[in-house]
Structure 1
């Protein structure tokens, strides 16, 4: 099976992914202006399941971002310079952008036009956001004030990323969905998932860290 992984603004196919018999994935790359495809990345089944994959180019197509399992099985955010990708193959040098301290690393928000990561979420005993695109700092600060004692997660955005669908949640409240307007920096509540829960006093969840017999950490809650 071959799937399309990224198309540039001119609808030119740039990345292709093929699933291997062992469940892993291989990627081939063809930058705009190039005629042939060339090997780029190859991941085992375990690496693919852990999230290793190219993500997308930045707005100026200067960098290609991706997630790689570099150390201790934890995915790290890396990027390749597009200029280097013109000539290198599977040994393309990359730059480490962010390495999590522990736990999983995922992409919460990407640029809708390029798929370049803008906000990461690192989850271990608790979750925290890592801002890659500094233009979003003010929005996240305002959303934190809106959420108050709750956490929030950006579920989706429109084609210009000026309107976000945001989930507000906690262990003691019913989840809520809001529309966030980036131009006006304000939110509009859509609905609560289960408003009947709000009349009850719910118990707080507690995160604990266990150790397996082989010494591995087991973050739990």
Structure 2
């Protein structure tokens, strides 16, 4: 099957819009580290359809067990402790799929992603989405498809917008190579910081 065929299969297999974007930026046969891999669904999918190899990093016990059940090489580790296990440029690609907003040491982990891998893909819910703004103006923290938790039980410790990320990137030595902004799986071409609920970036270490 050619690359286009693989991507069509992935589109049909996953409901996660950011997974579909990520798959388009992954080269077949590449080495990947998935940081905050959850239950290993993304890495298992990429291994099956694009023949990637690599590791998942996850702290949650249930996630580690489920990832292992899927055949993913998973290491149980807190990302806040860094990625000292891995040497520079150990992987072709590092993935932070809706993980960045759950980390306290945001700048540090961004630097680590482009240290251990040639490129990185980062996705996160956009707090600047218009419905989130309206909710805050109404005096309540937003709850939406991209931010599905209540303020008192959310795993998110940071909230950020598209503009926030793009301001932080150069401060952390990161160059943005590509960007996709989505809402309900559809690509947003204009007014992205207020019309898009999910952002996905392809980045590398700044030269």
Q: TM-score range by the shorter chain?
A: under 0.3
Normalised to the residue count of structure 2, the TM-score between the two structures is: 0.26
Q: Give the structure with the higher percent helix.
A: 2
Q: Give the structure with the higher percent strand.
A: 1
Which is bigger in relative contact order (C-alpha 8 A, separation at least 6)?
A: 2
Normalised to the residue count of structure 1, the TM-score between the two structures is: 0.25
